């Protein structure tokens, strides 16, 4: 018994740093933020902290900017299936014998390792309306009025989706590469013997086998999409005219530009609720298309 107690104590000591970190940097701020949602605290402005009940939540219902941020966030989710799909296609190609295969894998994965802010500023230069190489190429091809990209309310969000797809595709590719190498060869060979074409092998053998990983990438991508901040803040700051404003940016703007900490906490709580609902929706939907061994 003494030996068992010593083992348990050693285990607790090993996990203690993680428990302290989660408590200090996650649980305490979470509870503090939840409490602030029912107050009118304006941060460093010096206003007295006062309990206001559900006033912030009622204000949220009639906040047009909040609902626009929700719509933008849902639109921004388009990059998740796009990056997963492109990641699968690239992984399928690089899973074969191709020239400079390892170098290509590294180059596709590299954007995921680079700072989101650095990526944002790089793409800002590429999509510059007048001096950017993309529009200069379009002009040289005969396009008289190329899009303004990040400076246009019409094209800003699609442009951000393109950047986000490019950035996150490498992570999906690496995960797919790992699982594609585990697809049983005898299943593919059996399908080919039965007369299945290449696309049919992918459709009826490969995709069902890797469906749990695909589901994992969609869930993780959705959570990250609702938490995105750095890249969009760098390239547009939520503009022009709030056309790329998403919920994390709105929380930041409300808390640290207008110092409405109570209302910002309310928006953060709603962000958590939305992420939870989308996750539950995905979890329910995966019963129809995810196959487990």
| Structural domains of the chain, with CATH | 65-117+152-288 (1.10.3720.10)
Mean pLDDT, the chain, whole residue set: 88
As a whole number, mean pLDDT of residues 31-56 equals 82
As a whole number, mean pLDDT of residues 280-284 equals 89
Q: How far apart are CA 18 and CA 161, in angstroms?
A: 35
Residue 59 has pLDDT above 80, yes or no: yes
pTM of the model: 0.88
* 99-113, 207-221, 269-283: the lowest-pLDDT one: 99-113
Give per-residue pLDDT as tens, 152-211.
Answer: 999 999 999 999 999 999 999 999 999 988 888 888 888 888 788 888 888 888 888 899
pLDDT score at 4: 73
pLDDT score at 105: 87
Residue 54 has pLDDT above 80, yes or no: yes
Residue 1 has pLDDT above 90, yes or no: no
End-to-end Cα spacing for the chain: 40
As a whole number, mean pLDDT of residues 33-58 equals 82
pLDDT score at 194: 79
Q: Helix/strand/coil (H, E, C) string of the chain?
A: CHHHHHHHHHHHHHHHHHHHHHHHHHHHHHHHHHHHCCECCCHHHCCCCCECCCHHHHHHHCCHHHHHHHHHHHHHCCHHHHHHHHHHHHHHHHCCCCCCHHHHHHHHHHHHHCCHHHHHHHHHHHCCCCCCHHHHHHHHCCCCCCCCHHHCCCCHHHHHHHHHHHHHHHHHHHHHHHHHCCCCHHHHHHHHHCCCCHHHHHHHHHHHHCHHHHHHHHHHHHHHHHHCCHHHHHHCCCCCCCCCCCHHHHHHHHHHCCCCHHHHHHHHHHHHHHHHHHHHHHHHHHHHCCCCC
Residue 32 has pLDDT above 80, yes or no: yes
Residue 47 has pLDDT above 70, yes or no: no
Per the model's pLDDT, the better-predicted residue between 289 and 70 turns out to be 70
Reported confidence tier of residue 60, pLDDT bands at 50, 70, 90:
very high
């Amino acid at each position: 018994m003494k030996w068992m107690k010593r083992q348990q104590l050693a285990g607790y000591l090993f996990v203690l740093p993680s428990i302290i970190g989660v408590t200090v940097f996650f649980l305490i701020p979470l509870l503090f933020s939840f409490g602030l949602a029912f107050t009118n605290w304006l941060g460093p402005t010096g206003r007295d902290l006062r309990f206001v009940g559900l006033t912030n939540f009622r204000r949220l219902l009639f906040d047009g900017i909040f609902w626009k941020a929700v719509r933008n966030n849902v639109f921004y989710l388009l990059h998740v299936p796009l990056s997963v799909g492109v990641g699968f296609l690239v992984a399928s190609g690089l899973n074969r014998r191709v020239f400079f295969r390892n170098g290509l894998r590294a180059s596709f994965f590299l954007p995921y390792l680079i700072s989101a802010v650095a990526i944002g500023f790089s793409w800002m230069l590429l999509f510059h309306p007048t001096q950017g190489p993309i529009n200069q190429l379009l002009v040289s091809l005969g396009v008289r009025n190329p899009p303004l990209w990040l400076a246009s309310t019409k094209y800003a969000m699609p442009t951000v989706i393109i950047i986000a797809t490019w950035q996150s595709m490498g992570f999906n590719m690496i995960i797919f590469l790992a699982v594609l190498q585990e697809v049983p060869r005898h299943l593919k060979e059996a399908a080919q013997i039965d007369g299945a074409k290449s696309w049919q092998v992918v459709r009826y053998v490969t995709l069902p086998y890797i469906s749990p990983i695909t589901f994992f990438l969609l869930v993780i991508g959705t959570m990250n999409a609702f938490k995105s901040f750095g890249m969009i803040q760098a390239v547009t700051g939520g503009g022009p005219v709030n056309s790329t404003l998403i919920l994390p940016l709105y929380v930041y703007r409300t808390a640290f530009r207008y110092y409405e900490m109570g209302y910002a906490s309310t928006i953060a709580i709603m962000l958590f609720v939305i992420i939870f609902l989308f996750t539950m929706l995905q979890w329910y939907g995966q019963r129809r298309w995810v196959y487990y061994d």
